[in-house]
Amino acid sequence: MSRKKNLSVYVVALLLFLSGVGYLVWSGLTESSVYFLNVAEAKAAAPDKLLSARLFGTVASRGLESYAGGRGVSFLLEDKDNASLTIPIRYSGVVPDTFKPGAEVIVEGGMSDQGCFAATTLMTKCPSKYQKENRKN
């Protein structure tokens, strides 16, 4: 009789543990899920998908404006495959040194009511000069 009682306690404890871990995984995934889109996909997406999104593309040569004091920038993010598709980006923060027209960037944030993407994060892709060269040794 005591063996069955001990087994049922272990089963209940295991179920409670697994349900707790499952809840933590589920809540972590739903809270931090962010859509990762290129410019063409973002322009075609429903507005509710752009409330929290990560976009990637190329910095357009036109429409680039630095904020006074050097903290922040406004620019057009153009689609890598179709340069005629652009989204205006507004970023307030430290701008990476490698940020320039033609640079590939990733911005994270959300679409504002004015139709501009308000970025909270701005990352540039490392230039190819930092990549390891193929060597024949």
- What span, in angstroms and rounded, lies between the C-alpha atoms of 127 and 77? 18
pLDDT digits (tens, 9 = 90+) for 56-97: 999 999 989 988 777 899 999 999 888 899 999 999 988 888
DSSP state, residue 62: S
Within the chain, residue ranges assigned H as helices are 2-31, 39-44
Tokens of 77: 């993010």
CATH code of the region 35-130: 2.40.50.140
C-alpha 122, offset from chain centre: 9
pLDDT digits (tens, 9 = 90+) for 82-137: 889 999 999 998 888 889 999 999 999 998 878 889 999 999 987 655 555 554 54
Please tell me the number of Cα atoms within 13 Å of 48 on its side-chain side: 0
- What span, in angstroms and rounded, lies between the C-alpha atoms of 27 and 32? 9
- The domains of the chain are located at 1-33, 35-130
Whole-model pTM: value is 0.67
